[in-house]
Structure 1
């Protein structure tokens, strides 16, 4: 019997359709895997079932009745609990206080029963983290421990339907197995689970069937009880392409044969058990691909000196670097264009002149007196080179368009002639014309010998500009794609399959190509 059946769910925000045809069925005591690329509608659908978002259209049947769920409180009354990607815990409260917040046990006289609350929290938290004290404050816990507190809080409410939105993202393999053990217990008790994950091995291990979303609608389903757990079929539904028709040519060296500019070894990212190791050739444009949040931005921040690089061995232009501060990277010739231009890349309340010249003031020895005429001439040269509109050094940056603001973020580094340019999704929120001009500038810099490390959330951008692309998964480089490999389905397959990591490291492949 189906515990949940949702049909034709739809949601729009203004002129943007977040979900246009969401359909899913989940049987009692079964685990349904909900799959899809970023932006496919999974989270919107889940929020509708859990009452966070109200659908514009469609129907939801739960436990045999047609229901309209207009709030999380109403969803809880039906027995629907969701664990969101972003934690809802209060840092200053203890584990037990967080776990029982909102459904605290009370005594016969109506007073809060803290002893019973502690015991309830201890019972459920011990399933995930047996040695973790329920009296510890959440702010003192690791990310994995916080995740377990969040999940234990949901399980303690004894839901009929538990929705887990990427619950394993901060967990290691052994911790994932603990979670799966609890999910199996829930199944045995008749609880249904909707499990959202990008890790295909997890889906094949714990799910009874899967439903796939693409571009805001349900495109297919596979019942593992009657059909094979075929990764190709799943990835094909996610990408919309038939993987069997994809022909991969032999890898070619291409730009990888260029002189080595940057070498990175033993750089451990937060969520990775295996340190990152790769190289950049002089004038080479290398992309960072994979699903969002897999360590791409963290890698760029580490190389920029903003995040500690630990015991990493970083060599630029033949010289070893010790990155303790962003100025160490900048002075060595490695600069970052950050992902959030408003918060991290610009002084919004100041004019273009200040924004374009301040890196020089911080790095170069310009003497006691500054030549405003010279600095203004350099700023005007940058404005002309990047076609920033309006061409007025006195224009306050906050009044520029998004595309022109991003040009300023890139342009401020040009007078320093950087050896390595680190780009974090530079074309996000930029119109097509400005995007082309931005990447034309990147290509020109590469032709002049600047090496570029580019993270872009859009596969098309990576395929259009990169000499090769490194695929990251949970802080590790798991694959390397050459231009002969480029296709949307190849990117999707590489991003989802952590177990298909290349046998050779990118450095070894780089050396053989050379």
Structure 2
């Protein structure tokens, strides 16, 4: 790839200045004082771990969130971005990682949504189609037809449509949130070409990515966020050492209180309870080997979009893998079949518990018993009393608050909702528990309770596989860690042999390794022959 810097970083009045930006949500201070300045024609890279405040900051800049404190200056004048239209009117366009396209509309309709081409009050679809085709050709994708519905496009093609929409707005500042996450190498090259073209025409880009190699190729300056604050800004993208960037990104203001690991770890000679061999899901991950013994906690560390969640969903049967096998207790499970996975003893607590795990308008007890209803059937009818009694035993053991099992689950806090999901699988006596972001949206106190619960389950012989975006959580709770990058396992090691610095380094390098170097000689080496 071209190693030339993309834009300019000459001195002068910044195009955009943000000072002391604070944003608080109920119970969460997402931004605690952020400073950012962006110059015309530069590519300003915004870095930070998951949860550092990047997404909240760009939503403030896009007009989707209003700051509680702080000032925003545009071309030297203080402005109020009261809504997304206000941001767009200034020339600020945002391309979100989670694309905000309308699946049932055509490509052209999505590009010009809210800004339809019209003459004398009559829309002109032919003109919109022509302009859309020109924009897509500029992006290197002339094969995307303006008249096709967005739902028929691949994820990468949808990304291009979102970029075309930003270009169509004649933007002076374009925010790109993880734009390369769904692109292959050739498409990334095209993207960088477009960014260089924008920079040459004095358009500024705020580029968010976890991939430091991209930052060095496309960026001019770096701002680093940690725990909702700016910890460094204006760093040269090409010359700032990787270790310095990672050091700025790491560290926590929240204490993680983890239960002690048991003295005797599962024996390495003991047959694995869960065995995953060569598992792959086209477009998400490939060649994943994973084994977990009874009583062991295995953590998957990686970035959002690395394939972590899809691995869990494929093991659970919610996705049908395109390659590989899953065995439980030596017996091969039917691919893509949740029913057989649950019957065999696998439970999943998904990342989006509200939309994927809970019946929000139903009771606590029904949410707990829903996967075990056959146990409470009497002559074809459910015994509500038996359901409530069984659920009450679980809520008491997990200290779910309030203790009323007839309460609607929507009214519980995030931590107590998560306990209800876990109670469901405890009631089923599951043998393998898959946890996807188990403490997302959970307060510090409830986190410690969930950590203790997971460790207790492992001590009872349950095999646990957990995914978390918070590296300290993976290292503190897991016995063994697999590092996932770009859909592949790039390193595997006992948790005690890793630290946050090393895991971030492995994630950002994004290439398979023979194993994470450490003082221990017990490190598992799955990828012999790969470049370290």
TM-score by length of 2: 0.82
**2:167 alignment partner in structure 1:** 155
Question: What is the distance in 2 between the residues matched to 1:398 and 1:56?
Answer: 28
Residue number in structure 2 paired with 1:322: 334
Residues 381 and 511 of structure 1: is their aligned pair in 2 closer, same or farther, counting only changes over 3 Å?
farther
Change (3 A) 1:113 1:27: same
CA deviations 1:381-434 (Å, max 9, x no partner) are 544543445666666655655544433322333354322111222333445554
> Residues 304 and 153 from structure 1, CA distance in 2 versus in 1: closer, same or farther, beyond 3 angstroms?
same
Secondary structure at the counterpart of residue 234 of structure 1: helix
Q: Given the alignment of the two structures, is residue 489 of structure 1 paired with residue 505 of structure 2, yes or no?
A: no
In the aligned structure 2, how far is the partner of 1:56 from the partner of 1:383? 38
Distance 1:345 1:91, change over 3 A: closer
Matches of 2:315 and 2:132, distance apart in 1? 41
1:451 aligns with 2:463: yes
Give the Cα separation in 1 of the matches to 2:247 and 2:377: 56
Seen in structure 2, the aligned counterparts of structure 1 residues 375 and 132 have a Cα distance that, compared at 3 Å, is closer
8 Å Cα contact 1:4-1:60 kept in structure 2: no
C-alpha change, 1:419 and 1:154, in structure 2 (3 Å) is: same
Please tell me whether residue 419 in structure 1 is matched to residue 431 in structure 2.
Answer: yes
1:379-390 correspondence to structure 2 within 5 Å: 379=391, 381-388=393-400
Q: Decide whether aligned partners of structure 1 residues 66 and 368 sit closer, same or farther in structure 2, where only a CA change above 3 A counts.
A: closer
1:219-230 paired onto structure 2 within 5 Å: 219-224=231-236, 228-230=239-241
Mean Cα displacement is larger for which, 372-381 or 437-446? 372-381
Q: Please say if residues 365 and 406 of structure 2, whose CA atoms lie closer than 8 Å, have aligned partners that are also in contact.
A: yes
Counterpart among 525, 528, 531 of residue 509 in structure 1:
525
Change in Cα spacing, 1:18 to 1:130, as seen in structure 2 (3 Å) is same
Please give the secondary structure, in 2, of the residue aligned with 1:417.
coil
* Partner Cα distance (1:99, 1:407) in 2: 43
- Match for residue 237 of structure 1? 248
Q: Shift in Å at residue 477 of structure 1?
A: 2.3
Does residue 130 (structure 1) correspond to residue 146 (structure 2)? The answer is no
**1:313 aligned onto 2:329:** no
Structure 1 residues 173 and 352: CA distance shift in structure 2, 3 A: same
Match runs of 1:264-283 below 5 Å: 264-269=276-281, 271-272=283-284, 274-283=286-295
| Aligned equivalents of 1:511, 1:118: Cα separation in 2 | 48
Distance in 1 separating the partners of 2:349 and 2:206: 38
Query: Structure 1 233/256 Cα, relative in aligned 2: closer, same or farther at 3 Å?
Result: farther
Residues matched between the structures, number: 498
CA contact (8 A) 1:269 1:276 kept: no
Conserved 8 A contact 1:33-1:207:
yes
Q: Is 2:48 aligned against 1:32? A: no
**Do the aligned residues in 2 keep the contact of 1:469 with 1:482 (CA within 8 Å)?**
yes
Indicate which of 119, 130, 134 corresponds to 1:119.
130
Deviations 1:433-462 (A, max 9, x none): 544443333323322322111123433432
**Residue 6 (structure 1) aligned with residue 22 (structure 2):** no
CA deviations on 1:14-70 (whole Å, 9 max, x unpaired) are: 564332332223232221111112232323333333333343443444335444443
CA distance in 2, matches of 1:399, 1:417: 26
Instruction: Give the alignment's Cα RMSD to 1 decimal.
Output: 3.5
2:183 to 163, 171, 181: 171
Higher mean displacement: 369-378 or 298-307: 369-378
Contact 1:127 1:178 in 2 (8 A): no
Contact 2:92 2:172 in 1 (8 A): yes
User: Is 1:18 aligned with 2:30?
Assistant: yes
Match of 1:88 in 2: 100
Residue 160 (structure 1) shift? 1.9
CA drift of 1:318 comes to: 1.4
Structure 1 unaligned segments of length 5 or more: list them: 242-252
Alignment CA distance shift 1:399-1:148 (3 Å) = closer
Partners of 1:393 and 1:79 in 2: how far apart? 52
With over 3 angstroms needed to count, the CA separation of the structure-2 counterparts of 1:429 and 1:79, relative to structure 1, is closer
Structure 2 residue matching 1:477: 3-state secondary structure: strand
Q: 1:335–1:420: 8 Å Cα contact kept in structure 2?
A: yes
Shift of 1:207: 0.7
CA pair 269-235 structure 1, distance change in 2 beyond 3 A: farther
TM-score by length of 1: 0.85
Corresponding residue for 1:182? 194
When you count helix as a share of all residues, which structure comes out higher? 1
Query: How far has the Cα of 1:361 moved from its partner?
Result: 3.7
CA gap 1:366/1:300 in 2 versus in 1, 3 angstroms: farther
Q: CA deviation at 1:120?
A: 1.3
CA distance in 1, matches of 2:121, 2:373: 66
Asked whether the equivalents of residues 40 and 216 of structure 1 are also in contact (C-alpha less than 8 Å), the reply is yes
